[in-house]
Structure 1
């Protein structure tokens, strides 16, 4: 109870340091041939999945390209490497971010070979949804080997790490599962809305797209209970979500490119850009990266003219 009572104050403190201002953001778009989709921030650059490759981009243009048979899902940058799921062969690629060379290919299995999935880092490990029947692989970056297989709900494809826990969404079971990295077990679970998907942990809560409902759910990380919802549109299939700067940032597929949400009031602070179909989004303290594979662009949204 004490933790729940303190949440409004926590949100207020987070929002007080908010940046950037959504109203001030301007788009700088880059033409990207192929199918640029999922994103991972690496300093002042961003990595994007594409057809048969991952690419590194800055606001000056493309910097590197690395062959991966079928890169899929959201990626992670950790331990000096880019971690990418490869849906063609059901494995995990580890790529050196400095040299753009493949360091290792790890047999993990990929739970959703259609590609709507993600890889995350936390608690000294890399985590991969590895089996659609209900398993998550935990990878030790020190030796590139699986150290544990966590049993979860069937259809668990989406992950986030935060508040000292791994959070996993099963779209099939409409569940958010809290996993303790100390025991590699599910310690709490909450029922969600229709077709939950990508999620993010931060700004005082865990945030989940309830894609079929067009809503974003806010979950208390301590009680694992839903503490609020905001309706964004008719559907959120298939967008993306991130947190930072005192806001929740949601990539949408209809009505606009993305929206910014106040985590305390659940108010939509801004709707930015024109509708551009499916794509990804990642927050940085300087601006927002978005992709739009249907129109073959990668965009940098910032308040300055770089």
Structure 2
């Protein structure tokens, strides 16, 4: 059942703010290098088609050409078919679900307040497993034959065997980490609370910690031999050496960049204000396109946005507008 809009937003804002890093006014944002942008923003709040999906969409998970959307305010996940004008299947996930990943016919969803990881059969919508977690399960990823998720408030990276739905390992990473990313040779974790990135060896579970890389690291993606990190509070995307975690470059992206995904030789970055979809060439670090999708204000860590690619489109969640934008890609 849908909650009133104000109530859902307030509940999630209190939950996430309570377990995030210090207030942004206490931060000292990194100073970006001079802009290498070659694209001016396309300012048109109705430029992108969208689908109205439900209350408080945050996480996105592509399955083929279809998209699963996590509705934090409705305690549910919903599916939008490629070309569909609305959801065709909605499944209840209690306890403020946040993020999801699709793998081999299953959708895995973290429930932040419910302190559980839920597995859903994407063909039937049946819940097939529920795994108790530590405090604050947040982001998750799939790679190296496993599902990995972060217990933000318990300070652990958890590995799950998708075949048995059993926990295979728990690795201490420190409180305040949020989003993991399964790369080519390692699992990376954005330690949002202390402005660092972690590299976890999937065989030994050894953890390498970077120096401070930027202010508010969140979404990550690998492209052109580098690890790219969206840095919300310093308004930039930085690239790191994927082994040493040394910072290699900085690309200014205004409007609180939140999530990033690699697609077909380019980086797609979502900034909260608008939201905006920014395209970055990972070989040069230059911004090649900048498109305003809507007219929403930045969230300032009261919630998050996500971006994913399916069916030749970039899908962008908008928490405050209760919609998902769909942007055709060249």
Q: TM-score, normalised by structure 2?
A: 0.77
Secondary structure of 1:191 counterpart:
coil
In structure 2, the CA distance between the partners of 1:149 and 1:234, relative to structure 1 (3 Å rule), is same
The answer to whether residue 263 in structure 2 is matched with residue 244 in structure 1 is: yes
Q: TM-score, normalised by structure 1?
A: 0.83
Runs (5+) with no aligned partner, structure 2: 1-41, 300-304
Match of 1:32 in 2: 53
In structure 2, the CA distance between the partners of 1:199 and 1:99, relative to structure 1 (3 Å rule), is same
Check whether the contact 1:151–1:185 (CA below 8 A) recurs between aligned residues.
no
Shift of 1:163: 1.7
Deviations 1:51-92 (A, max 9, x none): 111000022131210000134333111132111001122000
CA–CA distance in structure 2, aligned partners of residues 256 and 292 of structure 1: 7
Shift of 1:124: 0.9
Match of 1:54 in 2: 77
In structure 2, the CA distance between the partners of 1:255 and 1:91, relative to structure 1 (3 Å rule), is closer
Shift of 1:270: 0.9
Runs (5+) with no aligned partner, structure 1: 1-21
Higher mean C-alpha displacement, 154-163 vs 176-185? 154-163
Match of 1:205 in 2: 226
CA–CA distance in structure 2, aligned partners of residues 154 and 87 of structure 1: 15
In structure 2, the CA distance between the partners of 1:286 and 1:166, relative to structure 1 (3 Å rule), is same
Q: Within 5 Å, which residues of 2 pair with 1:279-298?
A: 279-284=305-310, 286-298=312-324
CA–CA distance in structure 1, aligned partners of residues 53 and 253 of structure 2: 28
The alignment of Structure 1 onto Structure 2 pairs a total of residues equal to 274
CA–CA distance in structure 2, aligned partners of residues 111 and 29 of structure 1: 30
Higher mean C-alpha displacement, 274-283 vs 142-151? 274-283
Shift of 1:192: 1.3
Match of 2:104 in 1: 79
CA–CA distance in structure 2, aligned partners of residues 176 and 34 of structure 1: 31
Match of 1:104 in 2: 129
Shift of 1:234: 5.3
Secondary structure of 2:326 counterpart:
strand
Match of 1:92 in 2: 117
CA–CA distance in structure 2, aligned partners of residues 110 and 157 of structure 1: 12
Secondary structure of 1:197 counterpart:
strand
Deviations 1:245-280 (A, max 9, x none): 111111112255211111111111111124434532
Higher mean C-alpha displacement, 193-202 vs 98-107? 193-202
Secondary structure of 2:194 counterpart:
coil
Within the candidate set 267, 270, 285, 2:286 is matched to 267
In structure 2, the CA distance between the partners of 1:161 and 1:190, relative to structure 1 (3 Å rule), is farther
CA–CA distance in structure 1, aligned partners of residues 263 and 180 of structure 2: 17
